[in-house]
Amino acid sequence: MVFQKPPDGGWGWVIVVVSFFTQFLCYGSPLAVGVLYLEWLDTFGEGKGKTAWVGSLANGIGLLASPVCSICVSSFGARPVAIFSGFMVAGGLMMSSFAPNIYFLYISYGIVVGLGCGLLYTATVTITCQYFDKRRGLALGLISTGSSVGLFIYAALQRELIELYGLDGCLLIVGALSLNILACGSLMRPLESYGSPPSEKSCVDKVPDQYFVYHEKEKTVEENISILEKGYVDERCVNTPDNKQDCILNKNVLSSINVNEKDTYKKKVVEQTNFCKQLAKRKWQLYLNYWEETVVLFKNKVFSALFVAILLFDIGGFPPALLMEDIARSANVNEDDYHMPLISIIGIMTAVGKLILGILADFEWVNTLYLYVTTLIMMGLALFAIPFAKSYLTLAMLSAILGFLTGNWSIFPYVTTKTVGIEKLTHAYGILMFFAGLGNSLGPPIVGWFYDWTQEYDTAFYFSGLCVSLGGFLLLLAALPCWNACAKQSSKLPPNTYSYKVA
């Protein structure tokens, strides 16, 4: 299906608003899970590494299932997927309020809520990219701030709800709020295509003629049946001795017709079997084409480095959003010094970062790939500084820096689109989000295990800073002209594909 030219406005701004609130409602609790993390530590008494799996699964499982999410959005559209996912997120949060142990939370909060968030994220990003082209960076920046604003508000909201209604009541109320996703999803009107889907008749017309070899034979069988019926009637009606020869002749004709009918039936079965085999071959060819396209994507050096960078970025960059409150408690920070939760600071600065970086991506003189690399290297340096922060002020400053740099999520779809083209966005983005989900799932438990082994967070965040910095340098090296002959490859690139060059 070929979509019409993106309108860059009109109903597209409605899509931006509802996508903003969709990400606000679905990601508010999972991103602010650090508040719930402390309660789960006290309630179930499990280790920090094991408890961290709940939040990491909620934020990682949806990204791990991104290829499946992309297929769902491509097959059913953004609107049905968003409505269905709203039920998943709300139901998972409500089920979590009845969790008897940490393992139940792995399923209800980690898998059900996480998978619903992954479907919603893919739906909002895909439909926004379809409605915007020139202002795509701004649009993606606006909708991605929804999750950051949700983190900022839900961090304080969940803390207040826990104090008023307890952990179970908090999860029930947050789940009820998530039902508003259904209203947002119903407004995601799909962008009209150039041509309407082919009708049943046209689809049949496209089938090769060889599959209809038995079509005329069916008519022969029907004619034979009518002859048979006529023969039987004549045989019953005419019983005089004078017509015995005619009866014998009719019997011979009937026997020959039965033989012809059996032969025709056998040929018809053979033709139908061949038809089914051809369809199976076509389906298998589609799967082969999918994997061939995947191999072509990974032949692009920038794309290959991009998937390594996003994996390392999420292993090292995601844990602070989940564990910053526990880091402050481990550093013996006085609770009276708290003017604002550290998670809220990360959330509001992430929103600012997404918006500013999204606006910068729309300027022609800005190379979005290098902008993304810069945020990775700076985040690595900020992670190295966490072990030296021993007061609320320094932790708040680092939280603000990390939050702003985490806003590079808003330009990541933009970088992916410019790397592979809008036609392959869904395919490529699904692959990249799979590795991002793998990093999200592994990051917090690794940091928690480091703490369980060493009883301090210093070693863990040295490791995190190394991962993020390494991903940034690898992506920078892959984009340099000396590694790929840009002039030769640019002529071979498909339409709407952007080749990164040094300015």
Summarised one tens digit per residue, pLDDT across range 19-34 is 999 999 998 888 888 8
pLDDT on residue 306: 86
Instruction: Give the span between the Cα atoms of 342 and 400, in whole angstroms.
Output: 9
In a domain, 259, yes or no: no
Q: How confident is the model at residue 96 (pLDDT cuts 50, 70, 90)?
A: very high
pLDDT at 279: 61
Residue 341 is assigned to a structural domain of this protein: yes
Percent of the chain with pLDDT over 90: 15
Please state, rounded to an integer, the average pLDDT across all residues of the chain: 76
pLDDT-derived band of residue 174, with 50, 70 and 90 as boundaries?
very high
Q: Tell me phi and psi for residue 3, to 5 degrees.
A: -80, 155
- Six-digit token pair at 10? 């009109």
- Can you give the C-alpha Rg of the chain in angstroms? 31
**Which residues, 6 or more positions from 82, have their beta carbon under 8 angstroms from its beta carbon?**
22, 119, 120, 123, 124, 181, 184, 185, 188
Is residue 17 domain-shared with residue 146, that is, in the same domain? yes
Residues 377-399 have a mean pLDDT of: 88
Domain extent at residue 446: 290-482
| 253-261 average pLDDT score | 55
Residue 215 has pLDDT above 80, yes or no: no
Looking at residues 486-492, what average pLDDT do you find? 46
> CATH number for the domain including 149?
1.20.1250.20
Tell me what pLDDT residue 94 has. Answer: 94
pLDDT at 98 > cutoff 80: yes
Q: Is the pLDDT of residue 234 over 60?
A: no
User: CA 228 to CA 230: how far, in whole Å?
Assistant: 5
CB 70 within 8 A of CB 424: no
Determine how many CB atoms are found less than 10 A away from the CB of residue 8: 15
Same domain, 330 and 477: yes
More confident site: 201 or 479: 479
Per the domain annotation, does 285 fall within a domain? no
DSSP 193: B
- Say whether pLDDT at 292 is over 70: yes
pLDDT for 485: 53
Of the three residues 193, 214, 247, the one that is the final residue of a domain is 193
Q: For residue 202, tell me if it sits in a domain.
A: no
Average of per-residue pLDDT across 120-138:
83
Task: State which of 39-48, 102-111, 348-357 shows the largest mean pLDDT.
Answer: 102-111
What is the DSSP code (8-state) at residue 497? P
Q: What is the pLDDT of residue 95?
A: 93
Q: How many CB atoms lie within 10 A of CB 287?
A: 9
Please report which helix (H) or strand (E) contains residue 170, including its range: helix 136-178
Same domain, 150 and 31: yes
Whole-number pLDDT of residue 232? 45
Indicate the pLDDT class of residue 230, thresholds 50, 70 and 90.
very low
Please indicate, yes or no, if residue 488 is contained in any of the structural domains: no
* Distance (Å) of CA 50 to CA 22, 35, 62, 329: 29, 16, 19, 19
Residue of higher predicted confidence among 354 and 81: 81
Least confident of 116-120, 207-211, 307-311, 449-453: 207-211
Across 46-55, 218-227, 286-295, 360-369, least confident range: 218-227
Tens of pLDDT along 68-94?
Answer: 887 888 788 888 999 999 999 999 999
Residues 185 and 316 in one domain: no
- What is the SS3 assignment for 365-399? CCCHHHHHHHHHHHHHHHHHHHHHCCCHHHHHHHH
pLDDT at 265 over 90: no
Give every CB contact of residue 129 below 8 A, 6+ residues apart in sequence: 136, 140, 413, 417, 422, 425
Among 46-55, 150-159, 282-291, 432-441, the range scoring the smallest mean pLDDT is 282-291
List CB contacts of 448: < 8 A, sequence separation 6 or more: 47, 48, 49, 50, 51, 52, 323
Using CA atoms, how far apart are residues 77 and 132, in angstroms rounded to an integer? 17
| Closest residue by Cα to residue 310 from 399, 421, 442, 422 | 442
* Helices 114-131, 136-178: inter-axial angle, 10-degree rounding: 150
User: Percent of the chain, pLDDT > 70?
Assistant: 73
Q: Is residue 490 over pLDDT 50?
A: no
Cβ–Cβ < 8 Å for 82, 188: yes
Structural domains counted in the chain: 2
Q: Which strand (E) or helix (H) includes residue 456?
A: none
- Most distant CA pair in the chain, distance: 121
Instruction: Assess whether pLDDT exceeds 60 at residue 347.
Output: yes
Q: Does 463 score more than 70 pLDDT?
A: yes
pLDDT at 182: 93
What does the block give as tokens for 39?
């309660």
Tokens representing 499 are 């080749």
Distances (CA, A) of 385 to 38, 311, 316, 318, 373: 24, 21, 13, 16, 19
Is 493 inside any structural domain?
no
User: For residue 368, is pLDDT > 80?
Assistant: yes
User: Which pLDDT score is estimated for 105?
Assistant: 92
The reply to whether 251 falls in a domain is: no
Q: What per-residue confidence (pLDDT) applies to 225?
A: 43
* The two structure tokens encoding residue 55: 């939040």
Domain termination residue (choose one: 175, 193, 211) = 193
Read off the pLDDT band of 193 (50, 70, 90).
low
Smallest CA-to-CA distance from 406 within 342, 313, 475, 302 is with 313
For residue 4, the model assigns a pLDDT of 63
SS3 content of the chain, % helix, strand, coil (to 5): 80, 0, 20
**DSSP 8-state assignment for residue 242:** G
Identify the pLDDT of residue 107.
92
pLDDT at residue 181 is higher than 90: yes
Question: What is the Cα–Cα distance from 157 to 150, expressed in whole angstroms?
Answer: 10
Together in a domain, 173 and 298:
no
Residue 173 lies inside a defined structural domain of this protein: yes
Same domain, 305 and 187: no
* Inter-residue contact 174 to 29 (CB < 8 Å): yes
Residue ending a domain, choose from 138, 167, 193: 193
